[in-house]
Amino acid sequence: PGGNGRPPCRIRIAPDRCPHSATPMPVVTVTRRMHFNAAHRVHNPALSDEENTRLFGKCNNPNWHGHNYILDVSVRGPVDDRTGYVLDLGALKKIVEERAVNLIDHKNFNLDVPFMRGVIPTSENIVVGIWRELEPAIRPGQLVKLVMWETPNNYVEYTGE
């Protein structure tokens, strides 16, 4: 025995943590990066064409424009005793594909994406819409942050607030 009535620990599932330890598992954030392409027009139908052009510039192009988006999905939770994972990143990839990427990749946010219907498709609104699709499906762990890059210079972050 290891002096405490338990056998010595030979397999560690986390640093300084044996499977039979009373110490809580460390809480870790894991992130999966996903890519998608989509088109949109930033346009508020309640405003005049002139006001839309003034506010949104080239993003208000009536013939749409598109982006190659990068989406980082971060999930936080305790490291599982059995697997050593917070969440299997392959399982997270599948959730993100089914609940978001497959619905928006090579689509038009204004016309083709049900969760964006009636919403001005700014990056801010898109990331909130994606959050609402993903958050109920992510278990174990908790969705804690989405980072969505619209261009190499512009990104938005959302933490569910």
pLDDT score recorded for residue 22: 67
106 counts as catalytic:
yes
Residues in the chain with pLDDT values less than 70: 1-22
pLDDT score recorded for residue 28: 97
Amino acid (one-letter) located at 88:
D
pLDDT score recorded for residue 24: 81
Amino acid (one-letter) located at 106:
H
The answer to whether the Cα torsion of 128, 134, 140, 146 is positive or negative is: negative
pLDDT score recorded for residue 105: 98
Kind of pairing between the strands at 107-108 and 65-78: unpaired
The length of the chain is 161
46: its two tokens: 């309640």
Question: Comparing C-alpha atoms, which of 84, 79, 80, 98 is closest to residue 138?
Answer: 98
Catalytic residue among 106, 133, 157, 161: 106
Confidence (pTM): 0.86
Catalytic residue among 18, 40, 59, 67: 59
92: its two tokens: 């997270």
59 counts as catalytic:
yes
pLDDT score recorded for residue 139: 86
Kind of pairing between the strands at 155-158 and 107-108: unpaired
What is the rounded CA–CA span in Å between residue 39 and residue 110? Answer: 8
